[in-house]
Amino acid sequence: MTQGNAARTLLLQESFGVLSTVSIDLPGYPFGSVTPYCTDRMCRPIIYISHIAQHTKNILADSRVSLTIVEKGESDDVQAHGRVTCIADARQVARDDDDVRERYFRYFPSAQQYEDTHDFEFFRLELVRIRFIGGFGRIFWIEPSAFMTANPFSRAEENRIIHHMNKDHSDALSRYVGGGPGEMAGIDGEGCDVLQTGRKVRLPFSAPVTNMEEARKALVEMARRPA
C-alpha cells in the first residue's frame, strides 16, 4: 500500500475529525472543533457548517484550516492509532452543486433538517498537504496529487448502484455489516460505505474497481465472504 493509499484509507474509514481554524477572537491562535465530513468525487473532505458557528466565522476571515482524523481502536494508547491531518484551504461550495449536497445528506441524513435553518453552508477542503502517521516508522507528508483519486462513478452511476442495492439487495447489505439493517450511502473505486443504525461502516474492495461491471463483481464477491 502506497503512502497516499494508506492515508486515504484512514480518511475514508472515519466520519469525524477535529477542524482547526485560525481564531479571529484570539488572533494567531488555533481553534479546534469536532465536525463530521464526507468526501467529494476527488476524495476531498466536505463539511457542512453554520454561519453562526465560531469555526465558520474564522474560515470566512482566514480560509486556512486543518482537519485531523484519528483512527478508532480498542487500545487506550491513542498514540498507537493511525492519524491523518489534511492541511487545506476551505472554499465554499456553490449553492447549486447538488452532487455535493445529495452525497453529504446520504451520509448524514439527520443533517438535512438544518438545510433551511441556521444558514448552513457546504465547504470543500482544497488540500495543500497531508500528514499521515500510521505507526512506528510510518510518518510522512503526502502531496495532494498522491492522495486524491477520482471516483470512477458519475453521480448518476453511483445513484443507480445505491438505489439497486438498497431496493433489491438489503439482505446482502445486512451481511456486509454483520447482521441488522444496512443502507448503502456511497461507493467509489476502493470500497463502499454502508450506514448501520446511523454509523458508517467502510467496506474496502479486495481490488480497485473502475466501472459498473467491476463494481457488481466486487459486491457479489463481498456477499460471498464468510460471515
Residues 133, 201, single domain; the answer is: no
Q: Are 67 and 86 in contact (CB under 8 A)?
A: yes
Strands 16-22 and 30-36: antiparallel
Which 3 state secondary structure label does DSSP give 117? coil
Residue range 211-223, pLDDT digits in tens: 999 999 999 999 8
Percent of the chain with pLDDT over 70: 94
Is residue 74 pLDDT above 70, yes or no? no
Residues 65, 94, single domain; the answer is: yes
Can you give the pLDDT at residue 84?
A: 97
Percent of the chain with pLDDT over 90: 82
Residues 100, 15, single domain; the answer is: yes
Given 115, 147, 179, which residue is the final one in a domain? 147
Q: What is the mean pLDDT of the chain?
A: 93
Domain extent, residue 177, equals 155-223
Residue range 35-60, pLDDT digits in tens: 999 999 999 999 999 999 999 999 99
Residues 107, 214, single domain; the answer is: no
Given 98, 115, 147, which residue is the final one in a domain? 147
Residue range 137-184, pLDDT digits in tens: 689 999 999 999 999 999 999 999 999 999 999 999 999 998 889 999
Is residue 68 pLDDT above 70, yes or no? yes
Number of domains forming the structure of the chain: 2
What burial letters (b/e) apply to 64-83, b meaning 16+ CB within 10 Å?
ebbbebbbeeeeeeeeebbb
Given 113, 147, 181, which residue is the final one in a domain? 147
